[in-house]
Amino acid sequence: MKILGIDSSGLVASAAVVEDDNLLAEYTVNYKKTHSQTLLPMIDEIVRMTELDLNTLDGIAVAAGPGSFTGLRIGSATAKGLGLALGKPLVEIPTLEGLAYNLYGTEKLVCPMMDARRNQVYTGIYEFRGEELTALMDQTPLSVAELAERLNETGREVILLGDGVPVYREILEKALRVPYAFAPAHMNKQRAGAVASLGLRYLACGKAVTAEEHRPEYLRMSQAERERAERAGSC
């Protein structure tokens, strides 16, 4: 099977094509440009360099949230548009699972964390059981202090990754009482290759939706929605 992976849920924009056990192409940019400027040109370049006929895809895997509201909308709109045009199913990959999958095969716990502002992160706690990624704590918004405490309760060594790490590294170093490490640069941000690889597994198990059905998962209200609710509550 062949699948296109898309991730624009955070600071990084990434696109990749995976066919069975082969990563055919991956294009990742972590620079001062908006995802609306980078994502489609990256996909177009992958198509051109690999001489890919998009009609040969079996599906499109997309990081479905949580993450940046704007980034998620761009990724979802791109995936939906391609899915509708090509008549292909979409595979919704929880963003934190896609991040954790970067560290496939480790015996340590994996804790991806994305900065959610206000001393909170989007996070989860995962482990690999054989070839399967298992959630010990499903993705959720959590304070950094509470996350550190939950990791301490496991009593197990953990690898941390994601754009929340540099933001809250000092807090984590003071609060963690279990052995820990930080993932290296080539593994510590979103990669569409991981999204596509996990997407192949999900697609083989029938975990897919139509382009019309797909909706990103934000996990919490946007700032505009929170402000609107606060104004309504003060009336």
Cβ–Cβ < 8 Å for 45, 29: no
Q: Reduce the DSSP state of residue 8 to 3 states and report it.
A: coil
Q: Reduce the DSSP state of residue 189 to 3 states and report it.
A: coil
- Do the domains 2-95+190-220 and 100-182 sit in the same CATH topology, yes or no? yes
Span 130-167, pLDDT tens digits: 999 999 999 999 999 999 999 999 999 999 999 999 99
Residue 2 is classified by DSSP as E
Structural domain boundaries in the chain: 2-95+190-220, 100-182
User: Model confidence at 234, in pLDDT bands (50, 70, 90)?
Assistant: very low
Q: Rounded to 5 degrees, what are φ and ψ at 107? A: -90, -5
Cβ–Cβ < 8 Å for 175, 147: no
User: Model confidence at 32, in pLDDT bands (50, 70, 90)?
Assistant: confident
CATH of region 2-95+190-220, choose from 3.40.190.10, 3.40.640.10, 3.30.420.40, 3.30.365.10:
3.30.420.40
Cβ–Cβ < 8 Å for 133, 100: yes
Which of 218, 118, 102 is closest to 162 using CA atoms? 102
CATH number of 100-182: 3.30.420.40
What pTM was estimated for this model as a whole? 0.92
Tell whether the model's pLDDT for residue 216 goes beyond 80. Answer: yes
